[in-house]
Amino acid sequence: MSFDFSTASDSITNPLSYFSDRGEDYEKYRPIYPASAIGTILSDLGYLSQIVAADVGAGTGIGARLLADRGIQVLAIEPNEDMRTSATSHENVEFLVGTAEQIPLDSASVDLVTSFQAFHWFDFDKSLKEFRRILKPSGRLALTWSFWDQDDLVSKEYTRLVFAVSQDQENQFRSGMQPETWLKSIRYQLFWQGLWLPYFTNLQRHEFVSNQSLDLPGLIGLARSQGFTPSEGKGLEKLMSDLAVFHQRSCDRQGLVRLIYRTRLYTAISNHR
């Protein structure tokens, strides 16, 4: 079971406030991205200390800090105040208020544009035009997602439990779809298969595997960090109860449950004309 990213930004939910009041859980419990994925993003870019990146839809800066740890300067673009204020500070990361469709940076001002777990929220065409605008000629774009691995039984069951209490929300997403959303879905599918991305060339798809071990509070916190899970009431109570049973059944001797992630990374080069 998975969330249809291609419909998210056209749903009845406002993506700019979707993660409000989730920043603390997001910062504390979301997994980091594999070192091999970060290495691929930065490969062949030259001296990293001279690289400037814009991380768009930065959230609490999880991806931005991983880039900054390699020595590059990162401008983290994030519209949600709760996410920005929940971020752990880093000397090489500067947060700016902005959206993917209106990035507060000059044209041809960055070497790299990244987006971790966020591109599906953006306007497909407008965001890509903005990415190309702020990138230097032949600058790199890197779009990254991590998913619970559905080939791993424990991760698959965790996914099922999280979505089971969120079914009403998912149904609202789908009921809000319009004909133009289906068109965008086709465009996303072409991109998702690594076949096409407007305004960019040399589109490549990369995949990585990683894991995260969590205790019961961590499993609950990770679930609560998802924008579609219930934040209060009977839905949240059921989620916590279900995860308690899941934890007891799945944990190791240290009380930790191991979740497996598949990380998908797309890289492309700006096609300036």
Locus of tokens 């990585």: 208
* Model confidence pLDDT, tens digit, residues 137-172: 999 999 999 999 999 999 999 999 998 887 655 544
* Model confidence pLDDT, tens digit, residues 54-66: 999 999 999 999 9
Q: Please measure the distance between the N-terminal and C-terminal CA atoms of the chain and give it in whole angstroms.
A: 41
The pLDDT value given to residue 11: 36
Write the DSSP symbol of residue 131: H
CB atoms within 10 A of CB 87: 21
Rounded to two decimals, what is the model's pTM?
0.88
* Token pair listed for 148: 């619970």
Rounded to whole angstroms, the Cα distance separating 260 from 207 reads 13
Render each residue's pLDDT in the chain as its tens digit; 273 residues.
Answer: 343 343 343 333 455 544 556 788 999 999 999 999 999 999 999 999 999 999 999 999 999 999 999 999 999 999 999 999 999 999 999 999 999 999 999 999 999 999 999 999 999 999 999 999 999 999 999 999 999 999 999 999 999 999 888 765 554 444 444 555 666 688 888 999 999 999 999 999 999 999 999 999 999 999 999 877 877 788 889 999 999 999 999 999 999 999 999 999 999 999 976
Sketch out the chain's domains with CATH numbers: 5-148+179-211+262-270 (3.40.50.150)
Count, residues in the chain: 273
Instruction: List 49's β-bridge partners, or say none.
Output: none
The amino acid sitting at 242 is D
The pLDDT value given to residue 235: 82
Strand boundaries in the chain, DSSP class E: 52-56, 73-77, 93-96, 110-116, 135-148, 200-214, 257-270
